[in-house]
Amino acid sequence: MSYINDALTANENVIARAKVTGYIYLNPFNLIIFAFIKRWTTEMAVTNERIIHKVGLISRTAHEMPLWKIESININQGILGRIFGFGDVVVTGTGNQFLHFKSISSPLRFKKTISDAADAYQRSR
């Protein structure tokens, strides 16, 4: 089972998941085994109530942000990221809280999914 599936509440559904891009294997500063572990152990998702980001194999770090706390969503893409479709998404919330989704595939689609989920959440309240 994944961390995200285990963390879901009774009425919560996953809307979308994001993956770390396979291009991290091309970074000359990454050892392939570390890149593989990072890609395999990182989980990112948007649900109808919150955003979840978990990293780690032996030790785990998980961050969550309720959709109603989102203030802004930013994308950082370099030249290679624009060409090959990967980048970072940074979600800033109230109280100077932020989630940094690093080196994910299709960052624009993930940003749009977060925005749409936050809008739907606000309309439902």
**Whole-number pLDDT of residue 99:** 96
- Count Cα neighbours of 48 within 13 Å in the Cβ-side half-sphere: 9
Highest mean pLDDT: which range of 1-10, 33-42, 91-100 = 91-100
Percent above pLDDT 90 for the chain: 74
Tens digits of residue pLDDT in 11-65: 999 999 999 888 777 766 666 777 788 888 999 999 999 999 999 888 999 999 9
**Whole-number pLDDT of residue 30:** 67
Domain extent listing, the chain: 3-124
Enumerate the H helices of the chain as residue ranges. Answer: 3-7, 32-41, 79-84, 107-124
Task: Please state the pTM of the whole predicted model.
Answer: 0.88
Whether domain 3-124 has CATH 3.30.70.2860: no
